[in-house]
Structure 1
Amino acid sequence: MPNPKRPNFLEKIDPILERYGLILESDLHLPSVVSTIIGESIHGSWWGHSQGNTIYQTLGILNRRPDILLTKLLSRKTTFVHRRLWPGFLTIATSREPWQLDHLSPNAQKLLYAVQQKGKLSTNDYSKDSGVKIGVLGDAARELEARILVYGIGFHSESGSHAKRLKTWDTWAKDTKYKWKKIDPDVAKQGFENIALKLKERYSVRPKLPWDKLSVSRTRKKVARRKG
């Protein structure tokens, strides 16, 4: 007998992207690629799951799609962001506001400066040039990604160690051949805050946004004043 048709999980993922404009890789409460494939949320890593190969392949397909951006956005977790949200996201990411730059560790500051000077770099090459251990650079890279200061993608170096390829957002846009115009940063943040509230209404959990340490109400008041 022929094998049953392999399920196309993108048919379930695309409606989530259409509704919210984004989806998490994995999460216990909010819509994610992993829970969509498995049918339930799981604790810890999905690598050892029986559907692990399907999850890996689906994540790869999403990561290669020209209308999807992979970044750390919701609750500092890997988030797939649809193209329609890119102008607002890039406006926020390149705003260089205090929540992005204040209290960065010295290693993160140095790494950010290096990325800005070169446009793009890999942490394994930078480790060789600077003498900073790859593990230290990994921590610094995660710090920059959590504040959406850079685009980052992980890979295994020739030595087998985990490393990151980092880019400025301007370099990412150039490499992606994506042209965009900045919008009002407060309006951009309000758009993502509205999505977060929409998710809370549906799933009873509001994802944390990178700038949440600042007053959300203050952002809303600014937007209201500018619309008035």
Structure 2
Amino acid sequence: MITTVEEALAFIRDQKIVTLSMTKTFPSLINEIVDEPIEGSWWGHPKGNEIWIISEGVKDSVDILTTKMLYGKVTFIYKSLWPSLYKIVTDSNWRERRITKLNTLGRKILNELQIKQKIRFDQLNLEGEAGKNQKKVLMKVRHKLEASLLIHSEQLHTTKGYHITQIKLWEEWATDKVKQISATLKFKDAMSQIAKFCKDTELEFFE
């Protein structure tokens, strides 16, 4: 059972790809913390605060990348897989298959990101394109972009204590080292490396 951030990091280092919440096919950080099924939100569990503290510690680690790779759920990826992941998510053919599934607003945001390289969602200027329910529409589009891995997103802490989502190109996220190693990989080998640690290769990621 995991009780500390250090133990959580060791678990992810061993598993390589771990979801935060429970799934049927992937190792889950919450499952390792509570060791029992949770119905509904984990916030209501007696160990909810412990889950939050540990998961936030994991997100802050320089060795862990936080994505929405699996089922749109928070997914932690250990650094040894970053070059393979970068090879895949920057591949033009792989990206094009996912871009075609975006709606007009999603493509507009992605096009704007290509120009600016990173965008704070609270500073998007959509000129009324999202309609009256702009916040709800933007959240749905953001989730689609995150789950498709067409972008990398991160939470910024403002001086007023708010959490703001910033999205950026993968090229903006990756270090020179990740890019250099990735350049030596073939796409199919990178995909095989990721698939090695995924128990469900029917995921959209592998399409």
TM-score (norm 2): 0.82
Aligned to 1:226: none
- Quote the Cα distance in structure 1 between the aligned partners of 2:105 and 2:111: 10
CA distance, structure 1, for counterparts of residue 136 and residue 151 of structure 2: 18
Provide structure 2 residue ranges, at least 5 long, that are not aligned to the other structure. none
* Contact 1:23-1:31 within 8 A present in 2 as well: yes
> 2:17 matched to which residue of 1?
22
Match of 2:122 in 1: 124
Q: CA deviation at 1:208?
A: 4.9
Match of 2:179 in 1: 180
Q: Is the 8 A contact 1:124 1:134 kept in 2?
A: no
Question: 8 Å contact 1:138–1:163 — kept in the other structure?
Answer: no
Structure 2 partner of 1:113 = 111
Using the TM superposition, give the Cα deviation of residue 34 of structure 1 relative to its aligned residue in structure 2, in angstroms. 1.1
Q: Within the alignment, does 1:195 sit opposite 2:197 as a pair?
A: yes
2:158–2:164 contact (8 Å) kept in structure 1: yes
Deviation at 1:93, TM superposition (A): 1.1
- How many residues get paired? 196
Give the secondary structure class of the aligned counterpart of 1:79: strand
Select between 47-56 and 161-170 the one with higher mean Cα deviation. 161-170
CA contact (8 A) 2:156 2:166 kept: yes
- 1:70 and 1:80 mapped to 2: Cα distance? 5
Residue deviations 1:81-140 (CA, integer Å, cap 9, x gap): 00000000111111132332222111110011111111111111104x633323222211
Question: Does the 8 Å CA contact 1:120/1:167 hold for their aligned counterparts?
Answer: yes
For 1:194 and 1:7, locate their aligned partners in 2 and report how far apart those are by CA, in whole Å.
27
For the aligned residues, what is the CA RMSD? Answer: 2.8
CA contact 2:67–2:152 (8 Å) conserved in 1: yes
Task: Give, in angstroms, the shift of residue 22 of structure 1.
Answer: 1.7
Q: Distance in 2 between matches of 1:165 and 1:47?
A: 24
Please list, as runs of the form range in 1=range in 2, the aligned pairs for 1:201-216 lying within 5 A after superposition.
206=200, 208-212=202-206, 214=207
1:147-170 deviation line (CA, Å, top 9, x unaligned): 101111356889999852111111
The secondary structure found in structure 2 opposite 1:73 is strand
**Residue segments in structure 1 that go unaligned for 5+ positions in a row:** 1-5, 198-205, 215-228
Q: TM-score, normalised by structure 1?
A: 0.75
Letter in 2 for 1:180: K
Kindly state the Cα deviation for residue 77 of structure 1 after the two structures are TM-superposed: 1.5
Q: Which has the higher contact order (CA 8 A, sep 6+)?
A: 2
Answer whether contact 2:69 2:205 (CA < 8 A) is retained: no
**In structure 2, C-alpha distance between the alignment counterparts of 1:25 and 1:87, rounded to whole Å:** 22
Whether the 8 Å contact between 1:111 and 1:141 is mirrored in structure 2 is no
Counterpart amino acid of residue 24 in structure 1: T
1:62 aligns with 2:61: no
Aligned to 2:101: 103
Query: How many Å separate the matches in 1 of 2:34 and 2:189?
Result: 36
Identity in percent: 27
